[in-house]
Each structure stands twice: as structure tokens, then as C-alpha cells.
Homo-oligomer: A and B are copies of this chain.
Amino acid sequence: MRFSVSCDIQYDVVEDTTLILNIEPQHGERQEVLDEQFSVSTGGASDSHVVPETGNRYRRLQLSPGQHQISYRAEVETRPLIADPAEVAEVPIAALPFDVITHLSPSRYCQSDKLGRFAWRRFADIVGGHEKVTAICNWIFENVDYLEGSSDVSTSAYDTFTLRAGVCRDFAHLGITFARALGIPARFVSAYALDLAPQDFHALFEAYLGGRWYLFDATRLCPVDGVVRIATGRDAADTAFATYFGQLGGPPKQITVRRLDRQPRGDWTVSAVSLVSS
């Protein structure tokens, strides 16, 4: 699938500010950035970094006081691995790669140590790895209201489980939390995603099943094969699209995501989908 994505942000900088952006899609075998352009209206120093273990791409800018227009656009080809959910099994702890095990630990927004009793009672009997995580997503969709403004930057899965309302990042956090509590490694994914209204960045999650990371989205706002992955991390604390140290403001960012290839998107996928090679 081929996508055109863009992100435009205006920053009104009050004092010298260091800005770290994480808005550029990962490069990989199953997600190829064909063409991209990053620009800052005021030029200025910038350095960038690709994290070897995750592929996350960071760009650091030194912004002096004044108005800065940041613009990113890219054309991205994704080649999702599509699998039969029934064949995507849980990996026993004894067989998990060591670098995946860390995604069983609780994190800032995903207190899997606290929701284990519920998760086991509710989901442990479900046979099949992909089916189990799908059951988690279904439970979240049916029991948590998607409600703009019902959560904020400090809301964690512990809160969402109780308050039963949230937005995409809260849905992802809760899914990750349940999966980890059940012994399934899970991580947060920030992404460009089709069809959001209003269009914004999206948050979903990946679970490690059958030897690779599969995508899940409890919000049902977008098909999981309709996303361009930006970054992965333990939770939203690792994947902020922008982090700054200084003082700045500005109007809301503008995001666009379009499908470029001709064929219609077709049906909502019920397959297991992965966008990473291993």
C-alpha cells in the first residue's frame, strides 16, 4: 500500500528552545520511505538519530525566539505481512528473545502489575495468541467510551480501567497492560493512520506473537493495515511526537494521510497484520 503523509507545525518560540521531533516514519523491510522532505522555515542547526534497536527516528532542533514553520511530507510504501490469526500463537516465556522480554515490564502508563487479577480472570482461558489479544481489544472497545477530553497527559491504564473513558493513547495503554499482565510482550506504536476525523497522529499497539510484532487497535478507528508506523516504545512516554526544553506555543499541528495506490481499500481486515520483519 502506498501512502502520502504530511505534518505541518508552527512554533512560536519565546526563548531559546531545544526541540526533539519524532514524526518521521521508520524505515524497514515492510515499510519503505520512498521519498521525504523535512524543512524548517528558519533553517537552523539540527541533528538526527535512528535508534538501532527500534528504528525510531529523532530530529533535534535548536530554535531561537520567533516563529518557525516545520514541515514534513513523505511517500511511504507498506508491505504488511498478513497472517491467519488462528495460526499466530503465543510464545512461551522460555522461548521469548531476551530483548523482547523487557516489554513484559510495567511502565509509566501501563501498570500491568496491578491489573493482573482481572486480566487472568477475563482472558486467560482464551486459546490462541492473536485471538487472545483480539479479545482484549474487543473488551476495551465494548467497555471503554472513546471520548475526547476525558483524559489528559497523566492518565494511565489504571485510571482508564476505572474511569472507562479515554482516547486512542488510553486504549493502547490498556491493551498493552492487559497483554503484559498475561505474559504477552506488548509495546506502544505511534503512527500516521487513514480516516481519522479530525486527522491527527494515532496510537495503537503491538503484541509479540508467533515470533514477530503484530499490530492491534482497540479503537476500531482505522484498519491496522491502514497505518504508517512512526515509533515504538513502552508507552506514550517514549513516543511523544514532540518534546521541548524551553518555552514555545503555537496553533494545532496539521496532519494529512492519504492512500495513493488506486485500488480501493476494500474490506476492513480481519487478518493478523505485521509491519516489522522480526
**B237 to A105, Cβ gap below 8 A?**
yes
**B164 to A161, Cβ gap below 8 A?**
no
**B238 to A20, Cβ gap below 8 A?**
no
CB within 8 A of A153: which of B60, B104, B113? Answer: B113
Complex Cα distance, B248 from A225, in Å, reads 42
Complex Cα distance, B165 from A243, in Å, reads 22
Contact with B along A105-129 (1 / 0, CB 8 A): 1111011011101100100000000
Contact with B along A236-276 (1 / 0, CB 8 A): 01100001010000000000000000000000000000000
Going nearest first, the 10 A-B pairs with the smallest beta carbon separation are A49-B98, A117-B164, A18-B93, A105-B237, A93-B245, A106-B108, A18-B94, A118-B164, A106-B237, A107-B108
Copy number in this complex? 4
Complex Cα distance, B145 from A98, in Å, reads 33
Given the known A-B contacts A101-B20, A118-B164, are A60 and B107 also in contact in the complex, defined by CB atoms under 8 Å?
Answer: no
Contact with B along A1-26 (1 / 0, CB 8 A): 00000000000000000101000000
Complex Cα distance, B164 from A146, in Å, reads 24
Smallest Cβ distance from A107 to chain B, in angstroms?
A: 5
Given the known A-B contacts A158-B162, A162-B161, are A51 and B117 also in contact in the complex, defined by CB atoms under 8 Å?
Answer: no
**B93 to A237, Cβ gap below 8 A?**
no
Smallest Cβ distance from A148 to chain B, in angstroms?
A: 15
**Chain A interface: which size bin?**
35 or more
Of the A-B pairs whose beta carbons lie under 8 Å apart in the complex, a sample of 11, sorted by A's number, is A18-B94, A51-B99, A58-B98, A60-B94, A105-B237, A108-B110, A108-B111, A111-B154, A118-B143, A121-B143, A183-B245
**A92 to B18, Cβ gap below 8 A?**
yes
**B118 to A162, Cβ gap below 8 A?**
yes
Complex Cα distance, B120 from A165, in Å, reads 13
Smallest Cβ distance from A21 to chain B, in angstroms?
A: 12
Complex Cα distance, B142 from A118, in Å, reads 11
